[in-house]
Amino acid sequence: MPHVRAHLLLVLFTVISLPWQDGRVIVGLLVLLLAWHLWQGAAAMTSLGRGVWRLKWLLLGLMLVYLWLPGREPLADAWWPAMERGLVLLAMFASVHTLLFSTPPDRLGAALAEGLSPLDRVHLPGSIFARRLAMLLAQAVEERRSLAQDTVGGGGWFSWIPRRLAGEIRRMEARAAEPADDFPPLPDLGPTPWHDWLICILAALALLTLLWI
């Protein structure tokens, strides 16, 4: 995988350009992203599938907006725009998932802190936001593992899961309210190899070229 700096910029550029890409480009990008997840193994595919399943109601809402709400286009002509918007959403999620799956939360937070640190000069908490986001991502990963290992007690699912989640939310809110100096230090990302920047630039140029074809 490319360095987290180059990977983050590439994902951001991809997500921004996707709504203006042709449908065939979106399908091709989805195929490439699916091939990447297959190459990463069963864990990546399982995580991707769970994320797509969580998007089911949003995808259904897009279909309803395009197909059943009053509009200028006949119902038969609205299928492709509805499918295209759904594919854009899936491509955005799959692109972001490559970053979240392959990058530890602390390294992702360090990259975000570097990118958002200029906001501190105008009295906006860019680096603090990045540190809190990294902490939240790390906590979410740990909670997912913990919940997957725990067994349901005699009171049933609804007797302990909501209370546990509420307690964790209160704990994270209290942790986030602490001074920024008390946050754990972010790792040093080191220099980004030149070939990673080259891959990022070439991919961005390819996406720009496809916008004009």
pLDDT for the residue numbered 74: 61
Length of the chain: 213
List pLDDT tens digits, range 104-120.
Answer: 888 888 888 888 888 87
Buried b (16+ CB within 10 A) or exposed e, 140-169: eeeeeeeeeeeeeeeeeeeeeeeeeeeebe
Question: In the chain, where are the structural domains located?
Answer: 1-103+192-213, 105-182
What is the secondary structure of 93-144 as a DSSP string? HHHHHHHHHHS-HHHHHHHHHHHHGGGGGGT--HHHHHHHHHHHHHHHHHHH
pLDDT for the residue numbered 181: 55
Residue 71's contacts (CB-CB under 8 Å, 6 or more residues apart) are 78
Sheet strands (E) in the chain: none
Cα radius of gyration rounded to whole Å, the chain: 20
Ranges of the chain whose pLDDT falls below 70: 69-76, 139-184
pLDDT for the residue numbered 137: 72
Task: Name residue 73's amino acid.
Answer: E
pLDDT for the residue numbered 149: 59
**Shortest CA distance to 88 belongs to which of 42, 112, 55?**
55
List pLDDT tens digits, range 116-144.
Answer: 888 878 888 777 777 777 777 776 666 66
pLDDT for the residue numbered 30: 93
